[in-house]
Amino acid sequence: MKANKVMFKRLYNLGDYQHAEIGIELFIEPGEKAVDVLKQAVDFVEKFNPTNPKAKRIKEINEILSNPENYNYGVVEAAKTELKNINNELNNDMPF
């Protein structure tokens, strides 16, 4: 038997009877081991864990950027810079 793709999903409890499901499906390329691809899928999903502090900060940043009129210029600009840095970090850490 040969595996040709790996799928990993995780359900996160957000509290207040809410949850978020995050998952990814990756195809196994010739020469790759299924277990290695599965580890990459798990690492990918964990980076987007909505209960970790970085995800909570992204939510705060999105609130600032969605309502910039409620914040001073410095806070808005700092939020833009921080979001750009977080996105660069996530993009550089992608397994594919």
Q: What is the pLDDT of residues 19-52, one digit of tens each?
A: 999 999 999 999 999 999 999 999 889 888 888 8
- Are 45 and 59 members of one domain? no
Range of the domain at 59: 52-96
CA separation for the pair 42, 23 (Å, rounded):
9
Q: pTM for the whole thing?
A: 0.66
Do 26 and 2 lie in one domain? The reply is yes
Question: Is there a single domain that holds both residue 65 and residue 43?
Answer: no
**7 and 44 part of one domain:** yes
- The DSSP result for 50-92, as a single string, is TTSHHHHHHHHHHHHHH-GGGS-HHHHHHHHHHHHHHHHHHHH
Report the first-to-last Cα separation within the chain, whole angstroms: 25
Are 25 and 59 members of one domain? no
Q: Is 13 helix (H, G, I), strand (E, B) or coil?
A: strand
pLDDT attached to residue 96: 61
